[in-house]
């Protein structure tokens, strides 16, 4: 099905099932520990062996000698894989560095060997006996030092401009010119990267933890020089990903290589310390923002430049993209520069680009409002736009940012905020409020599905869509139930298997909207087949309460499949609506913090997100996504930072003891409001995504609240107490 124009008659609009806050279908499996994750597939493999990856001990250079003799003699060892005996490997297009290093080393903890043994303990012990001699070479590990050597990246539209920014900024009566930094960050998901591989002849099956099944199949096949049809990936349950599992990683490739060499199924999981340096991370940024405005607050010039680093061939962190669209202003520039760094690969992490970009932009907006002596909320509302500021002939399909601000301000009690910092106390705590816009573009991806109807009226949906804790099982079941006029408990959803039609996958906030639209398309085809069997036109059949109603007669849904299962398959492909309309999602984030007047300790006291993100398919799971994102925003604002050893070229705090993330005690009650919105230009579901929108802007709202509480402006994230304690107002 090609989606080129909004549907006029749409079964989804009935909202009997879609839009309801249903419990997660997979909830009982998750809470009882019976959901089979990749490393736990004891039900599908027998005589399994275990692999332990050896990572490079240097960040850049080459292997001179790798001695495996002692490791091979260790108890239980079956085989050891290195670049020397792995055979000729290709390289998937989704990875920057090769997944099995040697002799050249691209980054610290790049996999250089896999030891396979009868037991996990034997493999781990033997891996310690692999002896490697290196010839290190000098690397580049400091973004600030390499900033002046950064180049224009090869990515599409790294720079944009409109009007005459330089002249307009120079002439503006009120100006801001400030630099902000965000650190390297880790995905830190609960489930590690893990895979179980099994060969049957020249056909490979890998049970893995991967967000994008079709991408993974393609890259694994290319790396192993196999036909794509000979590779099957299965990933029904994923314990978190945040973008870290979008692409094929070392453990999946090495499990496959180890299983082929050992002639047994092999399990491989990355240890937590190896995840931080072997896999991807969110790259650090340096961002310069300049804003010029009239004295009455109208922005006349806005410029945003960003520098980030990556391995050779990698992409930059596009932290300027939201600035192209969020606020009005006739004269504007954005620029992105990429420095060559020899750190582990930088790549997508929840809301890549906008998350760190909003951390800077929305603090700059507050700083500018203060210069103008304006309420920061009113300053943002004043500079709202209904068109793409760089392409004024293209309107937003929906843009309700101002309504988000106004609803949020009323609900949060924004009128009680004191404009002058440091004026509100609660005992020893300095109290402040902060606000920030939330913004994330609405992306759509082609997505396919297969639906089956049996004689009992059971609908089975098959698609390789994944559920990374977001509720895909449930919203897909809701979509199929709505389309076929039945109950959710009459729908079986099967996900995460490359034997099923290729879907959008989970990433970029496109998963829910695109994947359900693919199920919608398959159900439309199933409805057409049913109508043919009833010898009526599709619009003459009503699907309701598990029954078919046509020309005055009623039949159970399974009636038409009494003599055999009916199968329909289709794929949603999006037309040019995203070219004709700018499609984005919006939010307003409000935060109240307390800053200890003596120690600088910051505590988040209240949080509110008001979101405008199209139709909300399941308010319960959508709220869960937003509060998870808000929690992630607290981490980014106050604690998350990968510390770079700038001599050795690695992340020092590569475990969950040294890399701090929020825990329950750090998070207050979080309030989430969804505006009642549908966007027919987005998809037949009229939905958008919320999982990344809930993160974008949160950290800036916290930073702004800290300033309002203490009068201390910090432009370097995370805002740890050492950046506050020497500047706190004198305790009274």
Question: Is 156 in contact with 318 (CB distance < 8 Å)?
Answer: no
Phi and psi at residue 363, to the nearest 5°: -75, -40
Query: CA separation (Å) from 166 to 211, 362, 606?
Result: 43, 22, 40
Query: CA separation (Å) from 532 to 9, 18, 254, 537?
Result: 19, 26, 50, 7
Q: Break the chain down into helix, strand, coil percent, rounded to 5.
A: 30, 30, 45
Question: Is 510 in contact with 444 (CB distance < 8 Å)?
Answer: yes
**Could you tell me which of 61, 135, 184 has the C-alpha nearest to residue 645?**
184
Among the options 528, 692, 716, 730, which is catalytic? Answer: 692
**And the tokens for 115?**
């030891």
Reading phi first (left if > 0) and then psi (alpha if -120 to 50, else beta), residue 353 is in: left
8-state DSSP, 343: S
- Which residue in this structure is represented by tokens 């008001």? 610
- Which residue in this structure is represented by tokens 């300027």? 320
Radius of gyration of the chain measured on its C-alpha atoms: 27
- 3-state secondary structure at position 58: coil
Q: How far is CA 116 from the centre of its chain?
A: 33
8-state DSSP, 29: H
Question: Is 671 in contact with 607 (CB distance < 8 Å)?
Answer: yes
b/e map 209-227, b = 16+ CB within 10 Å: bbbbbbbbbbbbbbbbebe
475, 480, 484, 487: CA torsion to nearest 10: -50
Separation CA 79–CA 221 (nearest Å): 22
Concerning whether 692 is annotated as a catalytic residue, the answer is yes
**And the tokens for 178?**
């400030």
| Residues carrying an active site annotation | 692
């Amino acid at each position: 099905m090609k989606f080129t124009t909004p549907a006029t008659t749409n079964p989804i609009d009935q909202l009997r099932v879609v839009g309801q806050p249903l419990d997660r279908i997979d909830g009982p499996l998750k809470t009882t520990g019976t959901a089979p994750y990749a490393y736990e597939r004891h039900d599908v493999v027998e005589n399994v062996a275990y692999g332990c990856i050896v990572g490079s001990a240097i960040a850049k250079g080459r292997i001179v000698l790798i001695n495996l003799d002692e490791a091979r003699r260790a108890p239980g060892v079956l085989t050891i894989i290195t670049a020397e005996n792995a055979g000729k490997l290709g390289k998937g297009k989704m990875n920057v560095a090769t997944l099995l290093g040697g002799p050249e080393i691209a980054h610290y903890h790049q996999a250089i060997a896999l030891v396979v043994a009868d037991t996990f303990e034997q493999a781990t012990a033997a891996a310690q006996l692999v002896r490697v001699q290196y010839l290190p070479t000098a690397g580049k590990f400091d973004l600030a030092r390499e900033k002046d050597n950064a180049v224009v990246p090869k990515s599409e539209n790294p720079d944009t401009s409109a009007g005459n920014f330089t002249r307009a900024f120079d002439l503006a009566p009120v100006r801001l010119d400030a630099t902000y930094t965000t650190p390297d960050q880790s995905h830190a998901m609960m489930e590690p990267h893990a895979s179980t591989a099994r060969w049957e002849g020249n056909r490979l099956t890998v049970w893995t933890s991967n967000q994008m099944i079709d991408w993974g199949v393609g890259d694994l096949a290319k790396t192993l020089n196999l036909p794509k049809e000979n590779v099957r990936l299965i990933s029904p349950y994923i314990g978190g990903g945040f973008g870290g599992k979008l692409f094929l990683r070392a453990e999946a490739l090495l499990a496959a290589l180890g299983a082929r060499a050992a002639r047994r199924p092999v399990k491989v999981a990355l240890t937590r310390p190896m995840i931080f340096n072997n896999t991807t991370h969110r790259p650090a940024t340096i961002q310069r923002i300049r804003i010029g405005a009239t004295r009455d607050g109208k922005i006349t010039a806005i410029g945003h430049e960003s520098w980030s680093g990556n391995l050779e061939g990698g992409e930059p962190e596009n932290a300027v993209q939201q600035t192209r669209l969020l606020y009005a202003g006739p004269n504007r520039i954005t620029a992105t520069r990429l420095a060559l760094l020899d750190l582990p690969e930088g790549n997508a992490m929840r809301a890549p680009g906008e998350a760190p970009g909003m951390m800077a932009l929305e603090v700059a907006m507050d700083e500018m409002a203060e210069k103008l002596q304006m309420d920061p909320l009113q300053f943002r509302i004043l500079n709202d736009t209904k068109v793409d500021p760089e392409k004024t002939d293209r309107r937003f399909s929906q843009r309700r940012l101002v309504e988000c601000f106004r609803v949020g301000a009323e609900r949060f009690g924004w009128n009680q905020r004191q404009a002058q910092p440091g004026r509100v106390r609660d005992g020893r705590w300095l109290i402040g409020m902060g606000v920030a816009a939330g913004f994330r573009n609405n992306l759509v991806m082609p997505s396919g599905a297969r639906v089956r109807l049996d004689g009992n009226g059971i609908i089975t949906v098959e698609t390789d869509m994944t559920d990374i804790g977001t509720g895909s099982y449930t919203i897909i079941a809701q979509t199929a139930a709505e389309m076929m006029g039945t109950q959710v408990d009459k729908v079986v959803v099967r996900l995460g298997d490359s034997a099923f039609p290729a879907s959008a996958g989970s990433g970029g906030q496109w998963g829910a909207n695109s994947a359900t639209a693919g199920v919608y398309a398959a159900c439309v085809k199933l409805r057409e087949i049913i109508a043919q069997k009833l010898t009526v036109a599709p619009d003459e059949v009503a699907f309701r309460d598990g029954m078919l109603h046509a020309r005055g007669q009623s039949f159970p849904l399974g009636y038409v499949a009494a003599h055999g299962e009916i199968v329909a398959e289709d794929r949603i492909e999006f037309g040019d609506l995203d070219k004709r309309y700018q499609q984005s999602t919006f939010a307003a984030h409000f935060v109240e913090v307390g800053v200890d007047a003596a120690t600088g300790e910051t505590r988040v006291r209240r949080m509110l997100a008001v979101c405008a993100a199209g139709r909300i398919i399941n308010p319960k799971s959508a709220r869960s996504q937003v509060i998870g994102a808000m929690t992630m925003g607290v981490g980014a604002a106050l604690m998350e930072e990968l510390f770079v050893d700038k001599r050795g070229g690695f992340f020092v705090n590569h475990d969950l003891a040294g890399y701090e993330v929020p825990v329950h005690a750090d998070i207050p009650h979080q309030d989430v409001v969804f505006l009642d919105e549908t966007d027919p230009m987005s998809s037949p579901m009229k939905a958008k995504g919320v999982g990344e929108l809930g993160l974008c802007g949160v950290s800036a709202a916290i930073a702004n609240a800290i300033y309002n509480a203490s009068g201390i402006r910090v432009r370097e994230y995370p805002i740890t107490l050492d950046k506050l304690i020497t500047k706190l107002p004198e305790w009274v």
